[in-house]
């Protein structure tokens, strides 16, 4: 009552503008999230607890939490747009087996088990099916947020979870269609109406793909030429919300529309600018979404049906986690990966609200049943961060690394920036230090940073794949940027970011193998070097020395090997990895010599002291 009195007084004082809810929401997030993160419980639980405190069963500062929830769903939409920007079509295609293989197996197995649990709880089969399948749809917002906080999005297990989430987001479409079929009034809808609905949905997808392929890039080029930053920001928001609207009008998921828009723009030259423009809105709205979920928990329904809700939450979360763990182990994931996936994905998700509301509108369930189902989902979402915290106690090795004594990169401005300070980076730094160049060094391995400090190196903590970290590390001031990380994908990501955002800097990159070197060269790095090339060549040179080669012979051989390697690399840049095979030496030449085949005059030759002359293919 006190909260309502304050709200009414503020409204009277300020006319039609009521800032109390806005200030309350912002204050709740600012206060609760740091406290919960400090306790190791994560930001999601902080937002949920703050929302519960502000809602109808707390201070009652928010009169209509459902209205806030609907508006805050834009946070999930923007989150999926940013995820889509990271999922280039070729990368998405490479995940097809995980999306449609692992994803379908997990969704199917969990759906079957939870449907039977719903029937056992006393619901009709059709209602139990809707209840169970709604719970199968994991919270994309919670899982993505936690993976991002843990730095696991790019890890193999993180990629598998992302693939499953994508399949679950796609599954909302056929599930909504099944609800329409199962509804009591389904018989009143003829086949032509259903086919029209399917056609409209397909048309929406095709329209979005066509816009992304042929319209968006030219439009952004024109806007960039105007050099009006606020217009670019408005255009980024227009793309996200426009894609969501197109999919919504087609009867599909808004979030899926934003994701597809992100995928369509993932190869655009404006990709990083779009990400930077949308990110602040995404963060605020996603936090607002979690606040709204906490406010939407109807404690009256929970109290009236506490035994049913408690039993449903316990059974659904435990059995869903057990099935996810079993599927992961059957598909050869380690115990740790399977357990992490089971705990993170054991809750229901935001798309269940859409499914249950649609089922109520279709007459399949009543209002009270919808409230019970929704409360089950919300409680499972609230319990997930606690379950993750419990998992960290059981598996301390999976906890986040300690940052004691570690400084985060911020405000650096040296002329040379080294990203990654493992074995390669440490050796590469020596000539620079000998010439008294001042270095900024970042790495994301806290153990290595502490070890380097014992030898006098100042290494800052930072993930070079993030644009904000690169800026904080001084990439905008650096004349030369050395990419010395040992992760192939991370190196490509950093090289792409640097070439787009800091085009004046020279980029020197460590390459893992020949294919990686070609990919880096195509990104426009100034210089790349395969990490084992020089040491392997020296190793081979010393080997032929032991076999009797003279210094002059060794020098001639190594010169020709290097020349052939360079010519082959240039050919592969144009024709792919199979190009330039004629420049690659092999045992086949020994067989040719034994059969009397001689080298053609046009072919370069390599002197072999033991076996005579051989063509250098």
Q: What is the pLDDT of residues 531-560, one digit of tens each?
A: 888 888 888 888 988 888 898 888 888 888
What's residue 602's pLDDT? 36
Q: Which residue has the higher pLDDT, 19 or 615?
A: 19
Kindly report which listed range (14-18, 174-178, 380-384) carries the lowest average pLDDT score: 14-18
Region 40-54: what's the mean pLDDT? 76
pTM value? Answer: 0.55
pLDDT tens column, 240-292: 788 878 877 776 667 677 777 777 777 776 777 777 777 777 777 777 777 87
What's residue 82's pLDDT? 74
Kindly report which listed range (303-312, 360-369, 382-391, 595-604) carries the lowest average pLDDT score: 595-604
Which distant-in-sequence residues (6+ apart) come within 8 Å of 516 by Cβ? 488, 491, 492, 530
Sole residue written with tokens 């039609």: 16
What's residue 164's pLDDT? 84
Separation of alpha carbons 57 and 295, rounded Å: 8
Band of pLDDT at residue 608, cut at 50, 70 and 90: very low
Nearest CA to 471 among 212, 229, 272, 192? Answer: 272
Q: pLDDT at residue 88 above 50?
A: yes
Q: Please say whether the beta carbons of 521 and 496 come within 8 A.
A: no
What's residue 402's pLDDT? 57
Q: Please say whether the beta carbons of 57 and 304 come within 8 A.
A: no
What's residue 567's pLDDT? 84
Separation of alpha carbons 170 and 252, rounded Å: 9
Q: pLDDT at residue 309 above 90?
A: no
What's residue 149's pLDDT? 67
Q: DSSP letters along 145-197, please?
A: HHHHHHT-TTSHHHHHHHHHHHHHHHHHHHHHHHHHHHSGGGGGS-HHHHHHH
Separation of alpha carbons 41 and 392, rounded Å: 10
Q: Please say whether the beta carbons of 54 and 119 come within 8 A.
A: no
Separation of alpha carbons 149 and 161, rounded Å: 15
Q: pLDDT at residue 614 above 50?
A: no
Band of pLDDT at residue 394, cut at 50, 70 and 90: low
Tokens of 474: 């001084």
What's residue 251's pLDDT? 67
Region 296-325: what's the mean pLDDT? 86
What's residue 480's pLDDT? 93
What's residue 573's pLDDT? 80
Band of pLDDT at residue 318, cut at 50, 70 and 90: very high
Pairing of strands 416-419, 527-530: unpaired
Separation of alpha carbons 111 and 117, rounded Å: 10
Region 41-52: what's the mean pLDDT? 76
Q: pLDDT at residue 610 above 50?
A: no
> Residue 612: beta bridge partners?
608
Q: pLDDT at residue 208 above 90?
A: no
Q: Which residue has the higher pLDDT, 193 or 219?
A: 219
Average predicted confidence (pLDDT) for the chain: 77
Q: pLDDT at residue 613 above 50?
A: no
Q: Please say whether the beta carbons of 32 and 272 come within 8 A.
A: no
Instruction: Return the SS3 of 601.
Output: coil
Please give the angle made by the CA atoms of 239, 241 and 245, to the nearest 5 degrees: 115
Tokens of 560: 């020709």
Please give the angle made by the CA atoms of 58, 62 and 64, to the nearest 5 degrees: 115
What's residue 598's pLDDT? 43
What is the 8-class DSSP label of residue 253? -
Q: pLDDT at residue 354 above 50?
A: yes
Band of pLDDT at residue 185, cut at 50, 70 and 90: low
Q: pLDDT at residue 577 above 90?
A: no
The phi and psi torsions of 410 (rounded to 5 degrees) equal -165, 125
Kindly report which listed range (2-16, 94-108, 206-220, 592-606) carries the lowest average pLDDT score: 592-606
Separation of alpha carbons 167 and 92, rounded Å: 12
Q: Which residue has the higher pLDDT, 127 or 81?
A: 127
Separation of alpha carbons 284 and 296, rounded Å: 18
Region 49-54: what's the mean pLDDT? 82
Task: Please state, as a whole number, how many other Cβ atoms lie within 10 Å of the Cβ of residue 18.
Answer: 16
What's residue 341's pLDDT? 87
Q: Which residue has the higher pLDDT, 23 or 504?
A: 504
What's residue 177's pLDDT? 67
Instruction: Return the SS3 of 122.
Output: coil
pLDDT tens column, 491-530: 888 998 888 888 889 999 999 888 888 888 888 888 888 8
Separation of alpha carbons 442 and 457, rounded Å: 11
What's residue 12's pLDDT? 47
pLDDT tens column, 134-163: 898 888 777 877 777 666 666 667 777 877
The phi and psi torsions of 417 (rounded to 5 degrees) equal -115, 125
Q: Which H or E run contains 89?
A: helix 89-94
Q: Please say whether the beta carbons of 417 and 474 come within 8 A.
A: yes
**Could you give all domains of the chain from N- to C-terminal order, each with its CATH number?**
2-394 (1.20.1530.20), 416-531 (3.40.50.720), 535-615 (no CATH)
Band of pLDDT at residue 234, cut at 50, 70 and 90: confident
| For helices 65-86 and 229-249, angle between their N-to-C axes, nearest 10 degrees | 110
Q: Please say whether the beta carbons of 47 and 226 come within 8 A.
A: no
| Top mean-pLDDT range of 175-189, 390-404, 595-609 | 175-189
Band of pLDDT at residue 418, cut at 50, 70 and 90: very high
């Amino acid at each position: 009552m006190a909260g309502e009195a304050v709200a009414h007084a503020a409204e009277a004082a300020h006319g039609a503008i009521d800032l109390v809810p806005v200030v309350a929401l912002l204050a709740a997030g600012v206060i609760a999230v740091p406290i919960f993160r400090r306790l190791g419980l994560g930001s999601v639980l902080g937002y949920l607890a703050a929302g519960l405190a502000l809602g109808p069963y707390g201070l009652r500062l928010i009169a209509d939490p459902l209205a806030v929830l609907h508006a805050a769903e834009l946070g999930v939409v923007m989150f999926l747009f940013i995820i889509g920007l990271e999922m280039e079509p070729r990368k998405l295609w490479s995940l097809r087996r995980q999306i449609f293989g692992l994803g379908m197996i997990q969704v199917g197995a969990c759906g079957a088990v939870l449907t039977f649990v719903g029937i056992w709880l006393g619901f009709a089969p059709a209602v139990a099916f809707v209840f169970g399948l709604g719970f199968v749809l994991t919270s994309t917002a919670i899982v993505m947020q936690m993976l991002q906080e843990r730095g696991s999005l790019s890890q193999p297990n993180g990629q598998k979870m992302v693939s499953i989430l994508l399949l679950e987001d796609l599954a909302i479409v056929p599930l909504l269609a099944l609800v329409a079929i199962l509804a009591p009034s389904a018989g009143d809808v003829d086949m032509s109406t259903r086919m029209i609905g399917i056609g409209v949905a397909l048309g929406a997808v095709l329209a979005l793909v066509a816009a992304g392929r042929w319209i968006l890039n030219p439009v952004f080029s024109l806007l960039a030429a105007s050099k009006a930053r606020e217009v670019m920001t408005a255009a980024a928001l227009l793309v996200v919300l426009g894609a969501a609207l197109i999919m919504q009008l087609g009867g599909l998921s808004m979030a899926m529309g934003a994701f597809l828009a992100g995928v369509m723009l993932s190869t655009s030259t404006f990709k990083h600018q779009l990400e930077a423009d949308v990110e602040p809105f995404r963060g605020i709205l996603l936090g607002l979404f979690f606040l709204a979920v906490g406010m939407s928990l109807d404690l009256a329904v929970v109290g009236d049906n506490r035994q049913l809700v408690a039993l449903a939450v316990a059974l659904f979360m435990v059995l869903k986690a057990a099935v996810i763990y079993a599927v992961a182990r059957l598909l050869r994931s380690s115990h740790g990966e399977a357990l992490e996936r089971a705990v993170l994905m054991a809750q229901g998700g935001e798309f269940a609200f859409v499914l249950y509301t649609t089922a109520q509108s279709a007459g399949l369930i009543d209002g009270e049943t919808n409230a019970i189902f929704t409360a089950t989902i919300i409680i499972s979402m609230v319990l997930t961060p606690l379950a993750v915290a419990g998992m960290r106690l059981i598996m301390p090795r999976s906890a986040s690394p300690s940052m004691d004594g570690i400084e985060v990169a911020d405000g650096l401005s040296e002329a040379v920036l080294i990203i990654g300070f493992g074995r390669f980076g440490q050796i590469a730094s020596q000539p620079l230090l000998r010439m008294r160049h001042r270095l900024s060094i970042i790495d994301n391995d806290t153990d290595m940073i502490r070890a380097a400090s014992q030898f006098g190196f100042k290494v800052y903590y930072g993930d070079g794949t993030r644009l904000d970290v690169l800026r904080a590390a001084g990439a905008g001031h650096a004349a030369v940027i050395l990419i010395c990380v040992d992760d192939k994908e991370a190196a490509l990501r950093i090289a792409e970011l640097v070439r787009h955002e800091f085009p004046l800097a020279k980029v020197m990159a460590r390459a893992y193998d020949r294919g990686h070197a070609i990919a880096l060269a195509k990104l426009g790095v100034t210089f790349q070097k395969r990490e084992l090339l020089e040491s392997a060549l020296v190793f081979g040179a010393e080997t032929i020395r032991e076999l009797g080669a003279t210094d002059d012979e060794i020098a001639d051989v190594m010169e020709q090997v290097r020349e052939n390697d360079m010519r082959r690399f240039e050919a592969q840049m144009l024709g792919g990895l199979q190009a330039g095979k004629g420049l690659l030496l092999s045992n086949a030449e020994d067989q040719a010599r034994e059969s009397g085949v001689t080298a053609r005059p046009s072919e370069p030759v390599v002197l072999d002291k033991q076996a005579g002359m051989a063509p250098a293919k």
